[in-house]
Amino acid sequence: MSDMSNDTVRLKKEILVRIVKAFLSDSFEDNARLIPFDMRPKGCEVPYRCCIYKERAALRNRVMAGLGTTLENDDERHTLAEFVRRAVNRKRPDKDVLTVLESACQGCLPNAVFVTELCQGCVARPCVNTCRFNAIKFINGKSVIDQSKCKQCGMCMKVCPYQAIVKRIVPCENVCPVGAIAKGPSGLAKIDFDKCISCGKCVVACPFGAVHEKSQLIDVLVRIKSGMKVVAMMAPSVAGQLPCSPQQLNTALRKMGFYDVWEVAVGADVTAKNEAKDFMERMERGDKFMTTSCCAAYNELVKKHMPEIKPFVSDTHTPLYYTAELVREKYPDSVTVFLSPCVAKRQEATEYDTIDYVLTFEELGAMLVGFNIQVAKCEETDFEQFASKQGRGYPLTGGVAESVRFSLGKNSDKVKPFVVDGINKMSIRDLRRYAKNGACEEGNLIEVMSCPGGCIGGNATLNSIKTASKAVNAYLDKSEDLNLD
């Protein structure tokens, strides 16, 4: 989840808002070009860097990412106006959804466990005696760690009575569950897209905001302005993100020029029924468990890193897939835009012709501010399509498994759900074990979500899990159960 008390998040929001306002102005190119100078005018206080020029360079990179540009290919010879023109004329967004802002990257020191000055040189020497790798020696009255031998297991940190041993981490590397981000030749962060599952954890973790999504804001705004039938598809998790009801947001989106608005909970109902059918078929043929298949980051994890668990993953498509399919059936010439709690859905969108663009909730919030629309004051516009309580409950932890259980009707007692609440190194290890053993001792229906808390904890959400959960549950209380006929 994005932390609005975080200065990097506020910077991102301010820049996205300025980009939207520049687009709506009489001169998009000029006003976008001036964003770094407007934000850091001559003589102003420089809050983050050593000088105003480095501040502006970092802001320029943030604007470029907001325009959907790949920073790795920037040779700094082109003006922001040139990147505006490229964004306006872009036919399809890039396949890789993240980029690194080298001007913002700190080039953090490598991960390491080391002894601080708090070491008292105690007689017990638990750190020396506990280390299985003979990496700690007692030198000149203090413990010293040999980095060439240290495995960073953390045992010495646990046994030190003075808590004198600490681990220095590189935040983006530390949170990546698949080792897809590391230092490049320049010493700055570099993403290996062959490994990356687009989970976005590095985006949230970096305290310098150096890892950034490549926005599709301009792509969407250009198509709205050109008069195309741009249809918004709202993720169920949007119910807890803004100070309004989903029906009020429906009205606000139409004010911005969207032709129609659909709840992706409509597609979630299709997913639930199909996964329920898939589950029963697998259980009847003797399978011991099945995992869900609606999380885009999990699907990338399986594809790139865990082929052994692929036979246990449901063959069912995601709620977004089915919703986009229904939208295209009604509007064959439409441009479909998914409003998403995470960046992983951008990767999924590249795989299907029915999904054109993805905007995160952060970008949606910036659009509303840029258009000067107060959602809390909008009237409510009802949705034409029916979405059930179960489909709207998908973004909550356990919500997907519950929808599948409900869809089984009289066979619901055959389900023993288990939730993997967040993809990390430990949960990946557990999933590998289930695949190897062909069974999961905790349950037979495993709901896998990349983000702890479910989709309401996504990396591009606007509210805390607690606040969002309360709002989603209030929406569920007003919703009807899924029709099983």
For residue range 404-444, what is the model confidence (pLDDT) as tens digits? 999 999 999 999 999 999 999 999 999 999 999 999 999 99
Helix (H, G, I), strand (E, B) or coil at 450: coil
pLDDT at 352 (0 to 100): 96
Rounded distance, CA 131 to CA 151, Å? Answer: 10
Q: Give me the architecture of the 219-477 domain, per CATH.
A: 3-Layer(aba) Sandwich (3.40)
Tokens of 415: 């389900």
Q: Where do the CATH 3.40.950.10 domains begin and end in the chain?
A: 219-477
The string of DSSP codes covering 53-112 is HHHHHHHHHHHHHHTT--GGG--S-S-HHHHHHHHHH-SS--S--EEE-TTT---PPPPE
Q: Give me the architecture of the 112-168 domain, per CATH.
A: 2-Layer Sandwich (3.30)
Q: Calculate mean pLDDT across residues 2-9.
A: 75
Q: Indicate the residue type of 24.
A: L
Provide Rg for the chain, Cα atoms. 24
Burial 412-443 (b: 16+ CB within 10 A, else e): eeebebbbbbbbbeebbeebeebbeeeebeeb
CA–CA–CA angle 231, 235, 240 (5° rounding): 125
pLDDT at 3 (0 to 100): 59
Confidence class for position 239, pLDDT limits 50, 70, 90: very high
**DSSP conformational letter for 309:** G
Q: Where do the CATH 3.30.70.20 domains begin and end in the chain?
A: 7-107+173-215, 112-168
Confidence class for position 71, pLDDT limits 50, 70, 90: confident
The string of DSSP codes covering 374-408 is -GGGSPP---SS---HHHHTTTSTTHHHHHHHHHT
Rounded distance, CA 194 to CA 122, Å? Answer: 47
Tokens of 370: 């840029």
Rounded distance, CA 8 to CA 360, Å? Answer: 16
Confidence class for position 4, pLDDT limits 50, 70, 90: low
Given a contact cutoff of 8 angstroms between Cβ atoms, the answer to whether 259 and 327 are in contact is no
Q: Calculate mean pLDDT across residues 260-284.
A: 97
- pTM of this prediction? 0.93
Given a contact cutoff of 8 angstroms between Cβ atoms, the answer to whether 138 and 127 are in contact is no
CA–CA–CA angle 368, 464, 291 (5° rounding): 105
In percent, how much of the chain has pLDDT > 70?
99
pLDDT at 2 (0 to 100): 60
Q: Calculate mean pLDDT across residues 117-128.
A: 95
Rounded distance, CA 241 to CA 361, Å? Answer: 8
Tokens of 357: 């663009």
Tokens of 244: 């309004």
Which pLDDT tens digit goes with each residue over 322-358? Answer: 999 999 999 999 999 999 999 999 999 999 999 999 9
Which pLDDT tens digit goes with each residue over 89-104? Answer: 999 988 899 999 989 9
Which pLDDT tens digit goes with each residue over 179-225? Answer: 999 988 889 999 999 999 999 999 999 999 999 999 999 999 999 99
CATH of domain 7-107+173-215: 3.30.70.20
